[in-house]
Amino acid sequence: LMHSNSENASLYVAQEIASLIRQRQKQGKMAVLGLATGSTPTKVYDFLVKFHRKEGLSFKNVICFNLDEYYPMQPDSIHSYVRFMNEHLFDHIDIKKENANIPDGTVSKEEVKTYCENYEKKILNAGGLDIQILGIGRTGHIGFNEPGSSMHSKTRLVRLDRVTKLDAASDFFGQENVPSRALTMGVGTIMNAKRIILMAWGEGKAQIVQEAVEGEIRESVPATFLQHHNNCDFILDEASASFL
């Protein structure tokens, strides 16, 4: 689905999320959201905060799971995704803190496997992800599932691609400061979501969006696995859709 600009596109995505939350409220159920970081979803979060303030949209019945976190990473670091989510969303809405899940970048190497298995269990126990929102990296990664990730991969500790570290370099004041690893939901975790919304803005994403949508399905471009999902939308602006 192409929108004239990322503002309109983000409004559409925020409205989809808000309508799921309201629908679940009427049913007396929790809405289960899969959330993403990066520059791409920030306007969606701005709109959700606005709906909370102006329209009284409540997040008390929302449980959410973020895709990924750098590893190791302290939650109070300026680079942590915990900090990012607090700043862009959680600090401004009425979500219960215990319902806002982000992979924990402080777990020890010994505990990481069990931790990741428990993250998966928690998603399942919540009833599975109703909507997973995604950005896309230049390597074709979704979450931090870099080239080589299998279609059935689950939450785990991964190594970041050189290109991904390069793209994160400015945030970290130099490539050498970017962590080499991350915790991420797997491709399989993402594929289990009932609905997937991938967003991409700008001409810098045009090439990888074309690969993801029209390319042969393969591990070297993990986003191509989304072609197998029966309820996945790519929400694009004119520039990111320009090679399609």
**Residue 146 annotated to the active site:** yes
Shortest Å distance, C-beta 75 to ligand GLP = 16
Q: Is 103 in the site for ligand GLP (CB under 6 A)?
A: no
Of 61 and 145, which CB lies nearer to ligand GLP in the complex structure?
Answer: 145
Alpha helix (H) residue ranges in the chain: 6-27, 42-55, 81-88, 112-125, 162-168, 187-191, 206-214
Question: How far, in Å, CA of 171 to CA of 174, rounded?
Answer: 8
Of 99 and 240, which CB lies nearer to ligand GLP in the complex structure?
Answer: 240
Alpha-carbon dihedral 82, 83, 86, 91, rounded to 10 degrees: 130
Q: Is 144 in the site for ligand GLP (CB under 6 A)?
A: yes
Q: Please identify, among the stretches 6-14, 43-51, 132-140, 228-236, the one whose residues bind ligand GLP according to the rule CB under 6 A.
A: 132-140
Q: If you search the block for the tokens 């570290």, which residue do you land on?
A: 165
Catalytic, out of 146, 203, 214, 238:
146
Question: How far, in Å, CA of 5 to CA of 2, rounded?
Answer: 8
3-state secondary structure of 195: strand
Shortest Å distance, C-beta 174 to ligand GLP = 17
Shortest Å distance, C-beta 205 to ligand GLP = 7
Q: Is 69 in the site for ligand GLP (CB under 6 A)?
A: no
Q: Is 34 in the site for ligand GLP (CB under 6 A)?
A: no
Which of 143, 190, 226, 234 touches ligand GLP (CB under 6 A)? Answer: 143
Question: How far, in Å, CA of 149 to CA of 154, rounded?
Answer: 10
Phi and psi at residue 130, to the nearest 5° = -75, -50
Q: Is 140 in the site for ligand GLP (CB under 6 A)?
A: no
Question: How far, in Å, CA of 200 to CA of 82, rounded?
Answer: 22
Q: Is 68 in the site for ligand GLP (CB under 6 A)?
A: yes
Report the interface residues with ligand GLP, using CB under 6 A: 36-40, 67-68, 135-137, 143-144, 164
> Which residues are marked as active site?
146
